Structure 1
Amino acid sequence: MEDQVNRLVSKTWGKTTLASLVASKLNDIHNERAPGCAHTPVAAFVPLDGYHLSRAQLSAMPDPSTAHARRGAAYTFDASAFLQLVKTLREPLAPETKVHYAPSFDHAMKDPVHGDIPIHPTTRVVIFEGNYLSLNKGDWKEAAAIMNELWFVEVDFAMARRRLVARHLKAGIAKDGSEAGRRADHNDLVNGREIVDDRLEVQEVVTSTEDVTWRAEAQMWE
């Protein structure tokens, strides 16, 4: 099973897909080896999207127009709240330890949903996923310092741009390819340059490619 995980890591093309599948497979392995403990997850997947500042918070900023246009930049996330969750999860487990909850993101409403992702006391591996987890700045750096490992999904900027344009069109963020391209060039790829240039040292680098063969293998896990 571990070999399957390694093969999938080398073939996957997106950090969200990679993180969610690794967490899912860890839980599958646990359930296979300890059938009496089924439905007690040992791995949790927590995307950083839930730490987006809300649209109301962006509107309250000194330059709300720029804040909304630059949504997705590091300063438009609640880094301090994320750091607090990481610190909380590092506290020793005790009989009275309760379920912790992380926020998710509602793409239809375009805002975070607080307390939506449970992290159970049985959880032993928490996989965070997001753009700024290895950023060498402020609260991001402090949070990274208390994690066990940092993995970085590396992608060619031209390929990233193609994916971003398609994603913005599919999500309805842009009305046409031209608008989607401008958003990618003036926001997403600007953020990407900061992420690459100010990256902390990481334990693993996964190269993201357009390898369609991983899809069939991923379906075997479902």
Structure 2
Amino acid sequence: MEEQVKRLVDKVWNKFLKTPKDSRLLIAIGGVPGSGKTTLSQLVTAALNARYAAASSPPSSGPPASSASPIAAFVPMDGYHLTRAQLSAMPDPATAHARRGAEFTFDGEGFLRLVRALREPLTPTSGAIFAPSFDHAVKDPKEDDIAVLPEQRIVVFEGNYVVLDKEPWRSAAALMDERWFVDVDFSVARKRLARRHVAAGIAATLEEADRRAVENDLPNGEEVVRLRLDVDEVVSSREDGTWVHV
């Protein structure tokens, strides 16, 4: 594991060990589009689950460590995209569709409700709490597709606006135990976004994909940087995919 990721995992793990048994540890990882925040979030989540499995492992004669239930859940913000039907119902549907991915095209109140639900104390009768995912095939959210189980006491949130100094994102961020920001040079993000848009079928060519990045994604990123809340960690994502603590 890269040293920077290990440092973050160590920090979360030590904080988790001090977290009351009836509480969850909530982490928000924000950044501009194409910053690498999804990759970092998934790396941290997987490493935490591996750490928990190792700590829960019985003697070598027992079942393998992988039998331990995951302690960490990964919840991307993508599921809170407004649907295409909701965008079409806006006063200026053409702009709404063209700017999909901008802050106003997300259900921030729905995200806040999720965070509040996960902040509630855990009890013996606590059940799963569900979040939406984003179905790239139909290009709309899929309701109740991500289950956060009672035993998953670490939740890693990821998204453009999870540390945005604007309501309702500000209220959701205030409920987090850790707030991180993934920094990146906009030229690096631009290249990543163009490749991603072609791979996802959002654009047919790299030229079209680059135009979308310049006209929509990067302006959204400028808002993310301009309205960033104070955070606990800033991690820089390099062009070669490595991480640097800022």
Give the TM-score normalised by structure 2: 0.80
2:27 aligned partner: none
Higher share in strand: 2
Return the match for 2:97 from 56, 68, 71.
68
SS of the residue corresponding to residue 178 of structure 2 reads: coil
1:23 aligned partner: 45
- Residues 187 and 213 of structure 1: CA distance in aligned 2, closer, same or farther (over 3 Å): closer
Q: Confirm or deny that 1:83 pairs with 2:112.
A: yes
- Residues 145 and 212 of structure 1: CA distance in aligned 2, closer, same or farther (over 3 Å): closer
Aligned residues: 211
Compare 203-212 and 102-111 and name the one that shifted more.
203-212
Q: Distance in 2 between matches of 1:8 and 1:148?
A: 13
Q: Distance in 2 between matches of 1:155 and 1:5?
A: 16
Q: Distance in 2 between matches of 1:211 and 1:172?
A: 24
> Please, what is the CA RMSD of the aligned residues?
2.1
1:1-222 mapped onto 2 (5 Å cutoff): 5-6=5-6, 14-35=36-57, 38-211=67-240
Q: Distance in 2 between matches of 1:57 and 1:114?
A: 15
Q: Distance in 1 between matches of 2:7 and 2:120?
A: 33
Amino acid aligned to 1:191: N
Q: Distance in 1 between matches of 2:73 and 2:90?
A: 33
8 Å contact kept, 2:5–2:44: yes
SS of the residue corresponding to residue 179 of structure 1 reads: helix
- Residues 32 and 4 of structure 1: CA distance in aligned 2, closer, same or farther (over 3 Å): farther
Q: Distance in 2 between matches of 1:88 and 1:81?
A: 11
- Residues 189 and 23 of structure 1: CA distance in aligned 2, closer, same or farther (over 3 Å): same
SS of the residue corresponding to residue 150 of structure 1 reads: strand
Segments of 5+ residues of structure 1 without an aligned counterpart are 215-222
Give the TM-score normalised by structure 1: 0.89
4+ residue runs of structure 1 moved beyond 4 angstroms? 1-4
Deviations, residues 14-43 of structure 1 (Å, cap 9, x unaligned): 111110111111111111111368342210
- Residues 213 and 57 of structure 1: CA distance in aligned 2, closer, same or farther (over 3 Å): closer
SS of the residue corresponding to residue 173 of structure 1 reads: coil
- Residues 163 and 2 of structure 1: CA distance in aligned 2, closer, same or farther (over 3 Å): closer
Q: Distance in 1 between matches of 2:57 and 2:129?
A: 24
> Percent of counterpart pairs with the same letter?
59
Q: Distance in 2 between matches of 1:158 and 1:117?
A: 33
- Residues 111 and 205 of structure 1: CA distance in aligned 2, closer, same or farther (over 3 Å): same
Deviations, residues 108-153 of structure 1 (Å, cap 9, x unaligned): 1111111111111111110000000110001000000110111100
8 Å contact kept, 2:57–2:68: no
Q: Distance in 1 between matches of 2:93 and 2:242?
A: 43
